[in-house]
Structure formats: structure tokens, C-alpha cells
Structure 1
Amino acid sequence: MKVVVFVKATKSSEAGEMPDEKLLADMGKFNEELVQAGIVKAGEGLKPSSEGVRVHFSGSDRSSTDGPFAETKELVAGFWLWEVASMQEAIDWVKRCPNPMLEDSDIEIRPLYATEDFADSDPSGVLSDQEYKLRETVTMQQAVVQPYLFFAGRCEEALGFYEQAMGATVLMKMRFSESPDPVPDGMLQPGFEEKVMHASFKIGKMTLMASDGCGDATSHQGFRLAMSVENEAVCDRVFTALAEDGNVEMPLGKTFWSPRYGMVTDKFGIGWMVMVPGEQQ
């Protein structure tokens, strides 16, 4: 079951008083325990109601009122969204929580409605199907597509190259010999036992994944990686670094969409489009 856990507001939270270092550390530890238990879906703290707005509905009329709002005990200062086995599990977790406020405070637990709760109002299931599609749409809006590059035995060399040329940060690296599960017989080319089975690395805001693959037969065709940098001098440096022992298909130059744009394939066969973003139209 899913529950929303509301941290109720107090005089100190409505006054905008920030927690001290110890409380922040205690809450951080509690949140870490929640994450490790796998029950947290979301959670945030809210600013005082003085920075909020209420919208009132009366028939077809709508009116808004700026905060602050009276009745502090009815306000919320933060929340978690948890998925738990039962209400009792949620209660047990809340009782382990440090007091989130500087004074006496309350935390309220409220279960969420599930689709089956509306079965009597939706006998045909049409509304349930609509809700499922909306949830699927939201899920896909949060989906992440990442490039996965195969380097045919040169992955470690490539990672080192991108560290030097583009300031890449290698986040993790696992060799075939380190795999928790054995590689199926006949899948791996002889001599690839110490090659990179899986790696992830970050360039700017993008996280990419990489591997040596299971053999030295691979190709990088039908795609390019597009990299945007704000500074022309940096753009020039990165392009020059990528072009070393590679192939320049389009030298850096001015285009109608960018003050500096070029295409290059690096020495590992990865195609790049390096550019400075143009002005927004």
C-alpha cells in the first residue's frame, strides 16, 4: 500500500526557522534508512505558508489568497510518499523518526486511494484504463535513454581518452572476470576475460555506458553523439582533442543554427557533433 506521511507545520517552521546541524544530520540518517529499506518514492520539505497561495473554488468562480495562513496545526511542512506492506509498518517507521521540529510536533499518515477503491463508481473499467494510461504516460516522461557504446576490446583506452579530452568522470567499471554471474560458455572471445564488461562514465550532464563487448567485431554507424558547450574556446579544444588520430567530416565553423559547429569521428569510431548553442529564437 502507498501512504503519504505529512510532517505537520509548527510555529518555528512557519517562521522559517531552519533546523540546526544535528537535526539535519539525524534526519539525513533516517532518510538514508528509508531509502535502504526501499520504501521511499518521494519526499520534500515545504517552505512556510507565507510563500504560498490558496485558490478558492465557488461554483465557476476562482479566487486566490496569498499566505500566510492561520491555524498552523492544519498546515503541512513536508511529506514523504512511502510504499509499505501495511499501516502498521508505516507507523513503526514514523516512530523511529527524529522529532523534525524544534518544538513538539506531529506526523500524520494517510493511505492513498488505489484504482480498485473506485470499482463501484467505474463498473465498465473505462476510467481505470484511462488512469492506467495516464500513469504509463507519466512513467515514460521520466524514462531515461542513455547511449551504450561498445569498443571491441579498447574500452579502457577509450575511457582514459575521454577523461583527458573531455573531462569525463568514470563512475564504475566491471571486468568480465568480476561478474557475479559466469559468462555463458562460448559467448566471450578468448582473451577478453579481463576486458571491460560494463562501465558508466559522465561527460557534463550526460551519463553514458560502455563495454568492450564480447569480441573485437563492432561498428558505430547510424548515429552521432551531440555535445554542446557554452564557450567557443572550450569547443575548439574538445573538437581538436577528438580529432586526434580521428577523422574530421566537417571542420568547426559558423552555421545558421550555431556560431561554432563541427563533425568529427574519434579514433574509436564514435561520431561526434560538437557545437556552441545558438541564440534561442
Structure 2
Amino acid sequence: MKVMVLVKANADSEAGNMPSEEILTEMGAFNEKLSQAGVMLAGEGLHPTSKGKRVACEGQKRIVTDGPFAETKELLAGFWMWQVESMEEALDWAKQSPFQEGELELRPVFEAEDFGDEFTPELREQEEALAARNSLRSATVQPYLFFGGTCEEALEFYKQAVGATVDCLMRFSECPDPFPEGMLQEGFENKVMHAQFRVGQMSLMGSDGCNDTAPFSGFRLALSVATQADAERTFNALAKGGQVDMPLEKTFFSPCYGQLTDQFGVGWMVMVPGEPG
């Protein structure tokens, strides 16, 4: 279940007084603990209400009121969104917060099943489609270049020509998983299996591929998404009318990874990023 934790304002937060370094350090450690436990989905502090506005709705009429607002104890200074098993678990976490004063309010978030028969299949489908679109807004797309055996030479060239910097480089011989027999061309063991490099503000990825039978002629787009469900939904959508080059599966670098060529001939790698080593 999702629980929103509302952090109530106090005189200091409404005055715009920033918390001390000690409190910020403790809050950072608490947020890190929440994140590592898979509990924290989001969390932010809010400016005082002197910087806010309220919009009152009266039929078609909208009335805007500038802050600050009265009744400090009813105002908010921040929030978290937590994913927990129960309200009891949420309470356990709330009790561990580093706040020395003030109040936290815990509110369960409505789930689809809470709406009963009023939440029709059509409305459910609309909600799921909206959630899918919102989820993909955090996705990233990077060009993935294949050099057919000359990746290392290309990286050295780009370093000199455009000041490229190489963030990581892994050779086929360093791969922890064995390759299917015949997949890797003989003599390619020390070639580049994967590299990540930057040119200016752009991050790119590259590889020698598994052989040198064809010259460099194109690229794939590497699409990274947050969850396996996002990967499956996006992979299937992109593959419609195209072809699956490698079905989604677990690899040593990703819990869900696959390759496809879409109906327009663009190659894609769809993946959920693995945990950093």
C-alpha cells in the first residue's frame, strides 16, 4: 500500500528558517535508510506559505488567494510518499524520523480496488494507461554504437578529436556469463563488450559487437526504464510490426533486458538498470 506522510509546518518553517546542518545530515541518513528498504517513493520539503497560493473553486469561478496563510499547525512543510505493507509498518518508520518537534500525519493513498464497482474497466484501463505514460517520463534514451571490432580505436580517436571521456569499459573476457557456442568471433575475447563514454553533455554507449563481418552502419537506442512492468509494456509496444532480436530476460547487468528492431528499422535495447557495482 502507498502512504503519504504529511509533515506539518511550525513557526520556523513558516518563517523560512532553514534547518541546521545536523538536522539535514540526520534527515539525509533517514531518507537513505528508507530508500535502501524500498519504502521511499518520493519526498520533498516545501517553501513557506508566504510563497504559495490557494485556488478556491466555486462552480466555474476560481478565487486565488496569496500566502501566507493562517493556522500554522494545519499547514504543510513537506511530504513523503512511502510504499509499505501496512499502516503499522508506516508508523514504525514514522517513529524513527529525526524530527525533534512538530507532527507527522499518515494518510493511506486510494488504490483502484477501494472504488469498487464505480471504478469501471474502462476507467481502470484509462488510469493504467496514464500511470504507464507518467512512469516512462523518467526513462532515458542513449545512442548505442556498434563498431565491428574497432571500438577501442574509435574511443581513442574521439578522445583526441572531441575530448571524449570514457566512464567504463568492459571486455568480452571479463563477462561473468559464458557466451553461447559460436556467438563470439574467434579472436574477439579482448574486444570491447560494452563501453560508456561522454562527449560534452551527451552520454553514449558502444561495443565491438560479436564479430567484424559488417562495417559500422548504424546504432541502437538504449531505453532504460524503472520497472520490469515498464520494460515489458514498452518492449511489446515497440516490437509491434517489427521483430524481436532478443527476448526480455535477466542478465548479469540487468534484471530485465531485450533487443528488438521496430517496424521502421530502428534498433532498440530495452532494459531495467542493474544495481551499481
Please give the root-mean-square deviation of Cα atoms over the aligned residues, in Å: 2.4
The one of 139, 142, 159 equivalent to 1:143 is 139
CA offsets 1:51-97 (integer angstroms, 9 cap, x no match): 00000112221101001111111111112222222222222222222
Which one has a bigger Cα radius of gyration? 1
How far has the Cα of 1:17 moved from its partner?
0.7
Structure 2 letter corresponding to 1:38: G
Q: Equivalents in 1 of 2:157, 2:35: separation in Å?
A: 35
How far has the Cα of 1:114 moved from its partner?
1.1
How far has the Cα of 1:2 moved from its partner?
1.5
Q: Equivalents in 2 of 1:105, 1:203: separation in Å?
A: 48
Match of 2:192 in 1: 196
Match of 1:176 in 2: 172
Confirm or deny: 8 A CA contact 2:143 2:219 kept in the other structure.
Answer: no
Confirm or deny: 8 A CA contact 2:143 2:220 kept in the other structure.
Answer: no
Structure 1 letter corresponding to 2:116: A
Confirm or deny: 8 A CA contact 1:53 1:67 kept in the other structure.
Answer: yes
Q: Equivalents in 2 of 1:96, 1:125: separation in Å?
A: 40
Task: Give the TM-score normalised by the residue count of structure 2.
Answer: 0.71
Alignment pair present for 1:115 and 2:147 = no
Q: Equivalents in 1 of 2:171, 2:70: separation in Å?
A: 60
Structure 2: stretches of 5+ with no match in the other structure: 222-277
Structure 1 letter corresponding to 2:7: V
Match of 1:267 in 2: none
Against the structure 1 CA distance between its residues 210 and 222, is the aligned structure 2 distance closer, same or farther, given a 3 Å change threshold? closer
Structure 2 letter corresponding to 1:209: M
Q: Equivalents in 2 of 1:96, 1:180: separation in Å?
A: 40
CA offsets 1:222-273 (integer angstroms, 9 cap, x no match): 6799xxxxxxxxxxxxxxxxxxxxxxxxxxxxxxxxxxxxxxxxxxxxxxxx
**SS of equivalent residue, structure 2 residue 19:** coil
The one of 150, 154, 157 equivalent to 1:158 is 154
Structure 2 letter corresponding to 1:111: P
Structure 2 letter corresponding to 1:57: C
**SS of equivalent residue, structure 1 residue 131:** helix
Q: Equivalents in 2 of 1:135, 1:61: separation in Å?
A: 30
Confirm or deny: 8 A CA contact 1:148 1:210 kept in the other structure.
Answer: yes
Structure 2 letter corresponding to 1:114: E
Structure 1 letter corresponding to 2:118: S
**SS of equivalent residue, structure 1 residue 147:** strand
Identical residues among aligned pairs (%) = 58
Q: Equivalents in 2 of 1:215, 1:222: separation in Å?
A: 15
Against the structure 1 CA distance between its residues 177 and 16, is the aligned structure 2 distance closer, same or farther, given a 3 Å change threshold? same
Structure 1 letter corresponding to 2:8: K
How far has the Cα of 1:42 moved from its partner?
1.9
Greater displacement, 136-145 / 40-49: 136-145
Q: Equivalents in 2 of 1:179, 1:23: separation in Å?
A: 44
Structure 2 letter corresponding to 1:131: E
Structure 2 letter corresponding to 1:216: D
Q: Equivalents in 2 of 1:194, 1:224: separation in Å?
A: 22
Against the structure 1 CA distance between its residues 97 and 147, is the aligned structure 2 distance closer, same or farther, given a 3 Å change threshold? same
* Residues 196-275 of structure 1: pairs in structure 2 closer than 5 A: 196-221=192-217
Task: Give the TM-score normalised by the residue count of structure 1.
Answer: 0.71
Confirm or deny: 8 A CA contact 2:145 2:206 kept in the other structure.
Answer: yes
Match of 2:66 in 1: 66
* Residues 39-54 of structure 1: pairs in structure 2 closer than 5 A: 39-54=39-54
The one of 103, 108, 124 equivalent to 1:106 is 103
How far has the Cα of 1:188 moved from its partner?
1.4
Match of 2:90 in 1: 90
Structure 1: stretches of 5+ with no match in the other structure: 226-281
Against the structure 1 CA distance between its residues 107 and 183, is the aligned structure 2 distance closer, same or farther, given a 3 Å change threshold? farther
How far has the Cα of 1:44 moved from its partner?
1.5
